[in-house]
């Protein structure tokens, strides 16, 4: 039973890690960022601005709320699923990450 639970959790993390990478690849801002693997997630680092990396990764503690989370400046935000289907949820995640990137970029421009 313990091995089955561990295997199921590992499979879930791998699948959502792949989904995180796919979401980041669809963002229009990607030409400005480098995508880097970070643990089970994917980070975005601006090519010209020095600063913190945003990391999209499988959620852990709050996965009943959502399957993916975004960590920015050491703060993790679970992205709520609210009963959305898979494709709709990934679109929602992309919008959430895009807004975080815009906010992070404007914070670097106007400290």
Instruction: Tell me the pLDDT of the chain averaged across its residues.
Output: 84
Domain extent listing, the chain:
2-109
pLDDT above 90 coverage of the chain, percent: 41
Q: What is the DSSP string of the chain?
A: -HHHHHHHHHHHHHHHHHHHHHHHHH-GGGGGEEEEEETTEEEEEESSS--PPEEEEE--TTTTT-SEEEEETTEEEEE--TT--HHHHHHHHHHHHHHHHHHHHHHHH--
What tens digit of pLDDT does each residue of 42-84 get?
Answer: 998 888 776 667 899 999 766 677 899 999 888 899 999 999 9
Of 5-9, 31-35, 105-109, the range with the highest mean pLDDT is 31-35
Q: Is the pTM of this model over 0.75?
A: yes
């Amino acid at each position: 039973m313990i091995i089955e639970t561990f295997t199921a959790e590992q499979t879930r993390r791998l699948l959502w890690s792949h989904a995180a990478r796919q979401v980041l690849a669809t963002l229009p801002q990607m030409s400005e960022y480098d995508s880097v693997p970070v643990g089970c997630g994917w980070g975005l680092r601006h090519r010209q601005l020095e600063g913190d990396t945003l990391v999209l990764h499988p959620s852990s503690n709050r996965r009943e709320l959502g399957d993916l989370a975004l960590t920015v400046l050491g703060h993790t935000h679970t992205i709520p699923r609210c009963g959305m289907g898979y494709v709709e949820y990934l679109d929602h995640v992309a919008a959430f990450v895009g807004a975080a990137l815009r906010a992070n970029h404007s914070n670097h421009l106007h400290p």
